[in-house]
Amino acid sequence: MKLHEYQSKRLLAAHGVPIPKGEVAETAEAARAIAEGLGGQVVVKAQVLIGGRGRAGGIILCETPAQVVREALRLLSSPLKGLAVRQVLVERAADIATELYLGLTVDRRAQRMVLMASSEGGVDIEETARAHPEALRAVPLDPLIGLRPYQVTRLAEALRLPRTLWPRFNSLALALYQSAQANDATLAEINPLAVTAEGDLLAVDAKMIVDDSALFRHPELRSFTDPDETPVERLEREAGISYVKLKGRIACMVNGAGLAMATMDVIKLHGGEPADFLDIGGGAREERVVTALRIILTDPDVAAVLINIFGGITRCDEVARGIVKAIAQAKPQVPIIIRLVGTNETEGRRILEEAHLSTAPTLYEGARLAVAARKGGNEHLG
């Protein structure tokens, strides 16, 4: 889950990262009140989940509350880089002397978190990594030991930070690390990390991504959920289903990612195209099957559904009950072919047969039936 700048800043500040004083507003009038409370020059920042807002006109320095109202109104009434702006962050403007970059991310190859720093902050860091890789320093972190002060000192030296700032840089980097750990973040970055004219360090912009698989441990982050999430995305997140929409017309519902890929292959072998990749996961209970079928059937291109379940921990009778219930609720207009083998398969088949649903003996046969059913119907999409 990507977090907005103001949300990321709250999580970072809770662990001691210095951030500018400010608040988020949903209306221009609320923005004015915040600006008046802060006094002096402020910055109005569009809250959208995309970088490069500055260049796109989403970050504006304002001298007066009247200007704040105008800019907030403008930002809140039109999309920025194609995304609706629901909130603006109004902060006391920072007097920036230098812009640095400081970020924590996962290095999959090293199988650990890395702390990265660059003296070329404020700009697109991927671009810096490409054009001037030497300007980006990375320190891999041992997951058992965590971030040690000597590692931060090395970065401070590489950045040519004045020695007077080293202690503050050290506590800031540790606070960044602690916040990322505490929130199960896969990314936590401060860009720019400003050295102010007064000689302080300040996180002027922040971005965090929280690992979706760890969200269950963070009920306090529930209110951070994106209101622009689509109904399908919400169902997916709440039910723990992985769903990727594809271009074909044969929908699949499978337990396990590997089996889902094999199912897609066999559909292709028979000349069909999968409409989605859907993994209901291990040990899927009745409710999750109902949700999965609802998700599949929201796609108007679906011409046939192939359900392929290999019962291990997942019990076929439980899945069968979910299928019967889901079909009763969703009343699909397309043929459904079910292949169900493994734990409790006899009971599962009996439940399906009682509901007048037909099963296929093998995946090969199931895919063949699904492709044939699709061809019997609408043919224009493939």
What is the binding site for ligand GDP (CB under 6 A)?
A: 43, 45, 51-54, 59, 93-94, 96, 99, 122, 192, 204-205
Catalytic residue list contains 101: yes
Residue 334 contacts residue 377 (beta carbons within 8 Å): yes
As a residue count, the chain comes to: 382
Contact 190, 103 (CB under 8 A): yes
Q: CB of 95: closest distance to Mn ion in angstroms?
A: 17
Residue 263: name the closest of 362, 377, 380 by CA: 362
Question: Which two structure tokens, joined as six digits, stand for 144?
Answer: 């058992």
Q: In the chain, at which residue ranges do the beta strands (DSSP E only) sit?
A: 2-3, 22-25, 42-46, 59-62, 88-92, 96-107, 112-118, 136-140, 185-196, 201-203, 206-210, 242-245, 250-254, 276-279, 304-311, 336-342
Give 203 or 293: the residue with its C-beta nearer to Mn ion: 203
Among the listed ranges 186-194, 211-219, 283-291, 324-332, the one in contact with Mn ion (CB under 5 A) is: 186-194
CB closer to Mn ion, 189 vs 345: 189
- Minimum Å gap between C-beta 50 and ligand GDP is 7
Residue 59 binding target from Mn ion, ligand GDP, none, CB below 5 to 8 Å by type: ligand GDP
Closer residue to ligand GDP, CB minimum distance, 32 or 45 = 45
Active site residue: 91, 189, 286, 318, which one? 189
CB 276 within 8 A of CB 251: yes
Residue number with CB closer to ligand GDP (45 or 249): 45
Give the interface segment with Mn ion, choosing from 105-113, 184-192, 245-253, 281-289 (CB under 5 A): 184-192
| Total of residues contacting Mn ion (CB under 5 A) | 2
Cβ atoms of residues 26 and 92 within 8 Å: no
- Out of 205, 317, 318, 345, point to the residue binding Mn ion (CB under 5 A): 205
Asked if residue 191 binds Mn ion (CB under 5 A), the reply is yes
Sequence-ordered list of residues with C-beta below 8 angstroms from that of 340, at least 6 positions apart, any chain: 307, 309, 311, 316, 319, 320, 348, 349, 352, 359
Q: Is 189 a catalytic residue?
A: yes
Residue ranges in 81-165 assigned as alpha helix (H) = 125-131, 149-158
Nearer to ligand GDP, 96 or 355 (CB): 96
Shortest reach from residue 74's CB to ligand GDP, in Å: 17
Which strand (E) or helix (H) includes residue 346? helix 345-354
- 115 and 174 in contact (C-beta within 8 Å)? no
Which of Mn ion, ligand GDP, none does 335 bind, CB closer than 5 to 8 A by kind? Answer: none
| Binding at 149: pick from ligand GDP, Mn ion, none (beta carbon under 5-8 Å per type) | none
**Annotated active-site residue in 5, 71, 101, 286:** 101
Chain centroid to Cα 328, Å, comes to 33
Q: Which does 322 bind (CB under 5 to 8 A by kind): ligand GDP, Mn ion, none?
A: none
Contact residues toward Mn ion (CB under 5 A) are 191, 205
Catalytic residues: 101, 189
